Amino acid sequence: MPVQWAGLSPQLLLTVDRDSGDRLCAQLERQLRDAIRSGRLQAGERLPSSRELARVLGLSRGLVQDCYAQLQAEGYLVTRVGSATRVAACAQVDAVPAPAPPDARPRLIADFRHGVPDLASFPLADWLWATREAARTMPTAEFDYGDPRGSSALREVVAGYLRRVRGAAADPARTVVCSGYAQGLHLALRALARDGVRVVAYEDPGGPATARAAADEAGLTAVPVPVDEDGVDVRALDATGARAVIVTPAHQWPTGVVLAPDRRHALIEWAARRDGYVIEDDYDAEFRYDREPVGALQGLAADRVISIGTVSKSLAPALRLGWLLCPPALVAAVTDLKRIADRGSPALDQLALARLIESGRYDRHLRRMRTTYATRRTALVEALAQHAPAVRLSGLAAGFHAVAQLPSGVGERTVVAQARGRGVGLYGMSACRASGAGTPVQLVVGFGDVTERAIVAGVAAVADLLG
C-alpha cells in the first residue's frame, strides 16, 4: 500500500554527483527509474513537487520538470492537472512479488487454544475513553522518560487494586510496571541471579519452554518439580537445591489445582529457610466459578514472593502491560534491569490503564467476562457429555481452560493431527511436561476465544477421535 502524504510534499532520498561527468537530468532519471523498478517507490505513491525537489537537490526547477516529463513519457509516472505526480500503476516491471506468508492460524471450525481471552470482547470503547482521558490530563512531565518503575499513577492504582481484590501486600514504591509476563519473569530471574541464585525450579506440568528460556537468558539452571492434586510438591522442591521457584498457586497452569493451605505455608517456610524466593504467576485469578476466591501468595510473605500480574488475560495480550510486586531486597535490582531493558513502558498506555481501573470500567468488564466464560465452560461440559462421554474434564473451577483426560488407547499426537485435518485445533499436555511425554493422554482445552456455537461444532466434529 503506498504511503499517503497529507499536505506537505513527501520526502525522497535522491542524490546528484556534479563531478561524475553524467548529466544531472540523466542521473535523476536513472535514480527514479531504479527506485520505481525495485519497489522503493510503490505504484500510486506521490512524488515531491518539482519545486520542492529542485530546492532540496539544488537544481533548477526546469531540469526536474524535464526529468518528470521524460519518465511520464516512458510510462513510469502519471500526472493529472491539479494533482501530484505519482508512480504509474504498471511501472514496477522488474519487481517480483514476495510469496504470501503461510497463514499461521488457518481457519478452523473451532480452535481450542489456551491462554488467550475472548479477543472480540476487548472493551474498545472503554479503552478509547480511558486513552482520551489520559491524554487530556497527562502532565507535560509525563512525556519524559520518567521513572523506570513506571507511572506513579498506575503503580498507585494497581497496588490499591491488588490489595482490594487479591489480598496482596502491594506497595507502589515496590511495584514495577513491565511489558507482560515474559519480561516480568526475565527481570525477576536476572535480579535473582544478581542476588546469587543459581538454580530455579518450575512446576511440572507447567510452562517448561518459557521457564527454561528465561532461566537460560539469566544464566540460571532450570529444574522441574512435580505437581499433584495439592499443587507443587515442596518436599521435592527442597531436594532440588534451588533457591527460587516459579509457581501458579491460585490456578495451577495447566492442571487447574489450587495450592493447598498447608503447601502455601510450607512453601513460604522453604523460601525463608533457603534464603530463597517464590515467583508467583498470578495469571487468571479474576475468573472463578465454583469456589471462593484465593488470595495472592504474596500477601503471606511480601519479603519472599515476587508476584507477576498482567492484563493479558483480563483485557488482551496486545496491550503488553503487567507489573511485578517486588520484595524490598530486589526492588533496586529489578528497577535497574528495567531501565537497562527499555527505559520504561509506554506512559500513555499506563495512564489509560490507570483510568480504566479507577473508573470502575475494568471491574465492569471483568464481571461481564466471568459470565461469558462461565457460559462457554457450560457449553464445553455439555458438548463433551453428549458427544464424548468417556472424556473426563478437570480444572474447571477457574480460568478459561480445562484439562481433558482421554481414555486409554488413544494417542495424543494422533488425536491432535487428525483433529486438525477436520478443522479443529486441539493441544496436548505433552508440551506442558518437562519430559515431553504424551502419557497420560490429556488435552489442554481453551475456551476463552471460541464461541459457544464453535465449541459445540468442534466437539461434535472430533468426538469419535476422543474415545
- The model's pLDDT over 122-181, given as tens digits with 9 standing for 90+, comes to 999 999 999 999 999 999 999 999 999 999 999 999 999 999 999 999 999 999 999 999
CA-CA distance, 264 to 434, in Å (whole number)?
A: 23
| Distance, C-alpha 88 to centroid of its chain | 40
Three cell numbers, residue 348? 500513555
Residue 414: count other Cβ atoms within 10 Å of its Cβ. 12
Q: Where are the alpha helices (DSSP H) in 343-360?
A: 347-358
Query: Which pLDDT does position 268 carry in this prediction?
Result: 98
pTM score: 0.86
**Angle between the N-to-C axes of helices 208-218 and 180-194, in degrees from 0 to 180, rounded to the nearest 10:** 40
Closest CA to 256 of 224, 209, 294, 222: 294
Query: Which pLDDT does position 3 carry in this prediction?
Result: 42
Phi, psi of 137 (to 5 degrees): -105, 5
Cβ atoms of 110 and 455 closer than 8 Å: yes
What's the average model confidence in pLDDT over 434-442? 95
The identity of residue 215, as a single letter, is A
Residues 264-319: pLDDT tens digits? Answer: 999 999 999 999 999 999 988 788 876 677 899 999 999 999 999 999 999 999 99
Peptide bond into 205 cis (omega under 30): yes
Peptide bond into 106 cis (omega under 30): no
Question: All domains of the chain, ordered by start, with CATH?
Answer: 24-87 (1.10.10.10), 110-115+367-465 (3.90.1150.10), 123-359 (3.40.640.10)
- H or E, element range at 404: strand 401-405
The identity of residue 200, as a single letter, is V
Pairing relationship of beta strands 231-232 and 86-87 according to DSSP bridges: unpaired
Peptide bond into 254 cis (omega under 30): yes
